[in-house]
Structures are given as C-alpha cells and as structure tokens.
Chains A and B, each alone.
Chain A
C-alpha cells in the first residue's frame, strides 16, 4: 500500500494516487489511523479525500480522471482535481444541477464500458494517453456509446439530457412536450456536459466548492470580483496583478 506516501505529491499525479488509494478501499481506510501528521495534512489538501454527497467513490474517481485530462496539472499550475472541480460538480448535482444526475450516472458507466472494450480497464485506470484518445473520439463523435451499451437501459428511457431541455427536469419536459424528448443520447452530450461543468468548477467563485486557492483564476490571470476599477487600471496594457479575492472576501 504505497499510496499513502504518494498522496504527499498533491496535485501532480493526483488521479493516479487516488486510483490506487481507492482501490485499497477498506484496507486503506484502516491505515489512515497510523499516518503521520504530515501525511494527514497532505491528505487534507487532497480534494478527493473529503467525501461526496452524490458520487460514489468510483464515480468520483472517474469524474476526477476525466476532469484532470480536460484541465491537466502542468508544470506551474494545478489541474482540475486540485482545483476542487469534482467537489464543485458533486455539490451542483446535489442541488441546482440535479437534472444532470442521470446524465452522469449513464455517462460514467458508458465511458467505463468503452474503456473496457478498447483497453481492458476502467477509464480511471488507463494511461493519460489512452484517456485522451477516448475523450478525443467522443468529442469527434467517433465513439458514440459502448458496443454493449445498446441494451443498457439507455435507449428506451432517455437518460442523457439534451441541451434544449436545460432548465427542466424530465417530468416537466415531458409535460411540456407532451412527447418524449427526441434527441438520441450519446457520449458526446455527456462530454459536453462534464466539460462545461469542469470549466465552471475552475472559473466560478470558490464559494461554490471549486477554484480552490483560486487555481482556475490564477491560471488565466483573473483576480476575482472587485467593486471598483480605476481609470489607470482600465487603461493599462499590462497585467494588473491585483490580489485574488472571492465574493466571500468582499
């Protein structure tokens, strides 16, 4: 069980660490009690160690793996996992984005099935290059759904939301429509949803659970909300380098 040691490397290879950590499940939990204080601190900084309201551990791990490929850790900047994106999505699905729950449940299942078919392992256990290949195929519409997914309860019951039903739960949509939503669910619609939510988790205010330590804003040079900008600031052609702040700091 070397995974507790590697959790010290916060942010660098987080998805890999979490993968091995979670594989250990109960055994790993038992080991927590013998960690050093340093290790506990490191773990506390691991956003995936905090528990989730909607995702089960495997789903969280898969969401983390996808989000980390969409916004990877780079030399000088944390990736989506360290930025708390998984928590942002989890919190959102537990509230305002409840209508996307089935999208995630089905999409995560399908992406694992595709990974199994192509590489013989679930998505979270693939090499980054393999993960990228799958995401690229989905985005291009070349991977639509798993071969075995046709009878997976997904075709009759419209489980992936389609964009035009944004803002509606399934029941209301049917009530309005008087007919079933016509769109065919596919992995690309799931990809578009999780990509959008990943970017929200990076660029929304930290009060929503993502953008931790301003990781998203830091990466693109946005200081956060300010009530006032002066004429000098507004007419500058150089970076303003204002301190990062959140709505909570106003």
Chain B
C-alpha cells in the first residue's frame, strides 16, 4: 500500500458535480487530483466510433454501474428486507453528465425557499397532512439572487441554449420564439438558442395552446450552432441524430463535464485525473480528513492519497455510502431526506399524423410549467382537502422513440406479443407520444440512504440501501398531473390516450438527490451554504445530495451551479477549512 505525494485538492468521482470546482481550482493554481472509478472514455475514441448503437449504450447500458463494485438495495417498507436493484448513473469519466438528456434549467426563486413559500401560501392547517406523513421541508441556505451569477456561468462556460422567458423582470409573451414565462429573472439572455421543434413538439404545443397554457421549448445544454465557451472550448452544432439520452455524444454537442470542463482543467498542468480508481474509505481524525484509500481497478493495487481539501464528486448513493463506511455520520444526518422522482405516466397515439419520434433527441421538446412549483396555487386551493397537494411537475414532450426504446409502449388492451402486437407496432410506433411528467418529490423522515446489513460489494464494503416511500402528496399530485397531461394530448387530437395515474417509488427513476442536505443549522443539515461539512470542515460536497428540496425541473444545471459557487467559496477564502461556520448574517 503506497502513500502518494500529498495534493491540495483530492476529488472523489468526476461527474457533473466535480466538473466546475475541479476546473476552477486548477485554473486558480491548486494542485488537483481526481479519483474516478470509471474508465476514461472520450468523444473521439469511444463515441465518434460507435455512438449510434442503441443496443450497446441504451439496452445493454454500457455506462451503467457495475453492481459488484457499487451495489444498491432498495425497499419501500421499512419492515421488509431491502433487495438489490439496478439503477441509473454512468460509470465513466464525466459521470451522468455524459449520458444525460441535456434538459437544463435554473430552479425557480421559490425552489430555494419551499418551506417559507408553502407556509405563506397555504398556512399550517392545509399542510397538516404533510406533517402527518413525516415531511421535512426546509429552505435552502442560499437564495436565487445569491446564485444567479453562477447559473449564468453554467450557461456561458459549459453551454446551455434557450429562449428567455424573463430578462431582468421583463416577462416574455407566449410565442414560439420566447421562453418559459414562469422562469426566474435572468440578467442575460442565453448564449445560443435551444433545439428546434419537431413534429412531436408542434403537436404538443397545439394541444397546450388550445387549453390556454403557456408552452415553450425547453432550455437544452446542447450546442445548436458552432460555439466557443467562456473557457475557449470549441463545440460543434447538434445534427439531431437522436442517439442522445443514455449515449455519449459522438459530435461533442451535448454539454458535459467531459467535453466542456475537463480539457480546460487538463490544460493547466496542475490537474490529474486517475480513472479506474475506486475509493474505499476516507481516513480522518473525527473532524479532519487526512487521506483517501483507493484501489486501482486495473492493477489491483491499493493506494493512500493524502490531501488538504477533499471534495465528494461521486453519485449521491456513493457519496453517502463512502461517508457512512468511513464513520462520518454527522449525528445521524448523513443519508437523511432522500428524494427522487416518482410520477405518473401518460402516452398517446395519433391517427391523423405521423410523429416519427425516432428522429429527434429526447430533449427536443416543448413543455409547460403551468402546473409546476406553485404556479397553479390558486387552482390547488380550490381542490377538496383530500385532493390538495403542494409543489407540481413540468410536463413535456420527449422524442428519441426508436423501436428498441419504445417497443413496450403499448396500451394495456394490446397484447405484448403475437400478430396483433406486431400489427399494432407497425401501425402506431411512429404515431406515439409519451409525455414527461416531472413530479417534484417531498423529503420525508422515512426516506433515507444507509448501509445495508446484508449485502456488500466485492471489497467487503456494505451496499448503499435506499428507503423511499410515496405518500399522500405524491399520490394526489400524480392523479392531478396525469389528468393535465391527458387533457393536453386529447386537445392535440390524440386518437387514444392511456397511462398510469399513480406514482411508483423506485431507485431507478434518476435525479437521486438529498442525503447530504445543505442548511444553516448544523443540527438539521450536513453542510453549510458553501457545501462544507459541519462535522469535517475540509470535506466539501457536490451533486444533488446537497438539495434540501427538489424541483419540478431537472437538477443538473443546479448541480453545476453549486459547484461553481463552491469553487469561489474556496478560492475567495469565504470558508475556513479548519472551522465550518454558519454564514447566516
């Protein structure tokens, strides 16, 4: 077991979360090393020569986690034993930012203060059912105004395109060339435009407009024109090939830590990434991390990497598991308040048109935010008490409907095999829409990640165990959002609409957040507002694990934003790595 030379910054895992902070610190002269358990796949070698292969990347999931190294177990019922499960993340340099869809949002102003917003809008009586269900909703320790410049930095330095909906408080009208009128005010327009509309989008938009909703094309972290980032990285325009979600982009158009940030960090000369490096534990003295122990998965050798600052950059499950296995529990708060998606589904076919959903990346979509966050608070207040719910969902119209990805998307009255099934797919596969209904989950006391008592990985480290429930709020929201999605498709002229109006809890719905919640109060959170652990001040956290609450929007832009925010906190000496502080003033 070799002890390696000490580094200023040791980063565990390289995905969306680790990208900005590692690049910014390397540019600032810090000596940075990244330990990433996945292999170093590149656009030129791995994606340009074999990306358009749905079986390889999607069905067989070449990126998916090797369960013998990073096992996960799952249960909903705390009285049952958890069982091993697959889940979605990407085992590769760049992590899930390599195989993601590229739907890239700023959170709403209210998303950073959900607790306060709900209390103001609805009062304690209306919210009693949430307390009964053990909801634990907290405001973030940061405001939208605090972090707006860092959202802008993501858009201009990593690459996000969109139509603006609200520039400096001026709300744009509903128009194909305008954006989400509900979006939080932005100081600057996007650096380029989002993907164009396709037949599926035009159809969805038609239905939404008929209902008086405010459809817009979603912001997309995919370059739609030859573009040079704030760092000087040159990117090519998307060609709409469709091999997008679950794929690495052959053209480098989809923004990721791999294509947008890693080349900048590597060019500094004081940044090193070690792929195939699986971190086993953090060695610490109780309130100070000293080194990490990791195994080189190629040679089998175990190394000790000492450092001054340690940054968790792995996926939520692994960040939590590593802390717990290393004996860092923050008084039992590490792993608490896990949140991920559990929503309904709505699908439809059209008889009067083909949609050809096989052309168009998944994120080429129109959507509406009329039912997201508290945008529909007045309507919700009119619901009977047993149907009332808080928060909401974005509803959108994804594409990327190739046969291998869509052959199971048949209505319940159609058999799953045989001549009738074959006829159905022949007639309808290219007339299919399946909506995205991005329901916001609520953090509960009983939704958490811990170490599994029965299952270990091949190194003897316990598996991460996830407990996750759906409760009244999710059930009520699912029914409501299902009806809204159905109405949009019917208004658009769908011949047949079907779906599921109940949420299903699972460890495989992506957007796995919470577990290392940030906050102002050390007795209720794991990190302070600068992502610094209260218990061990030289450990910093990146990724969705920091989120106290979710949003009805995809999390990646906020993960990148928090990482830029963290980088400045370290560079500008806002934090003391010997003493974590409460920065409320």
Contacts and interface: CB of A to CB of B under 8 A. Distances in A.
Interface of A: 69-72, 74, 77, 96, 132, 135, 139, 164-168, 172-173, 175-179, 182, 195, 199-200, 202-205, 208, 216-217, 219-223, 225-229, 231, 233-240, 247, 250
Given A204-B55, A247-B52, A72 B60 contact: no
B86 A164 contact: yes
A167 B241 CA distance: 28
A234 B360 contact: yes
Contacts of B83: 164, 182
A217 B404 CA distance: 10
B239 A228 contact: yes
Contacts of A175: 68, 458
Interface string B333-364: 00000000000000000000111101110001
A195 B416 contact: yes
B356 A236 contact: yes
A57 B18 CA distance: 53
Given A72-B419, A237-B353, A216 B240 contact: no
Interface in B452-486: 454-458, 463
Interface string B373-385: 0000000000000
B204 to A, nearest CB: 13
B300 interface: no
Given A222-B358, A237-B353, A239-B430, 11 more contacts: A132-B418, A172-B458, A175-B68, A176-B455, A178-B456, A204-B55, A220-B403, A223-B358, A229-B239, A231-B196, A250-B52
Measured as residues with beta carbon below 8 angstroms from the partner, the interface class of chain B is 35 or more
B583 interface: no
Given A139-B416, A176-B458, A247-B53, A204 B404 contact: yes
B456 A220 contact: no
CB-based closest 4 A-B pairs: A225-B52, A237-B353, A203-B403, A204-B55
B492 to A, nearest CB: 12
A245 to B, nearest CB: 10
B578 interface: no
A74 B353 CA distance: 25
A167 B86 contact: yes
A71 B86 contact: no
A69 B240 contact: no
Contacts of A250: 52
Interface SS of B by simple majority:
loop
Nearest to B61: A167
B55 A205 contact: yes
Given A176-B457, A200-B404, A220 B429 contact: yes
B360 A229 contact: yes
Given A164-B84, A220-B403, A247-B52, A236 B354 contact: yes
17 contacts: A72-B419, A165-B84, A167-B64, A168-B67, A175-B68, A176-B457, A203-B402, A223-B358, A227-B239, A229-B359, A231-B196, A234-B240, A234-B356, A234-B359, A236-B199, A236-B354, A247-B52
A5 to B, nearest CB: 26
Given A132-B418, A240-B359, A235 B55 contact: no
Nearest to A217: B403
Nearest to B85: A164
Contact of A178 (B402, B422, B454): B454
Contacts of A233: 356, 359
A225 B426 contact: no
Nearest to B203: A237
A223 B199 CA distance: 17
B313 interface: no
A74 B422 contact: yes
Contacts of B355: 237
B407 interface: yes
B456 to A, nearest CB: 7
A23 to B, nearest CB: 26
Given A72-B418, A222-B429, A228 B55 contact: no
Contacts of B359: 226, 229, 233-234, 240
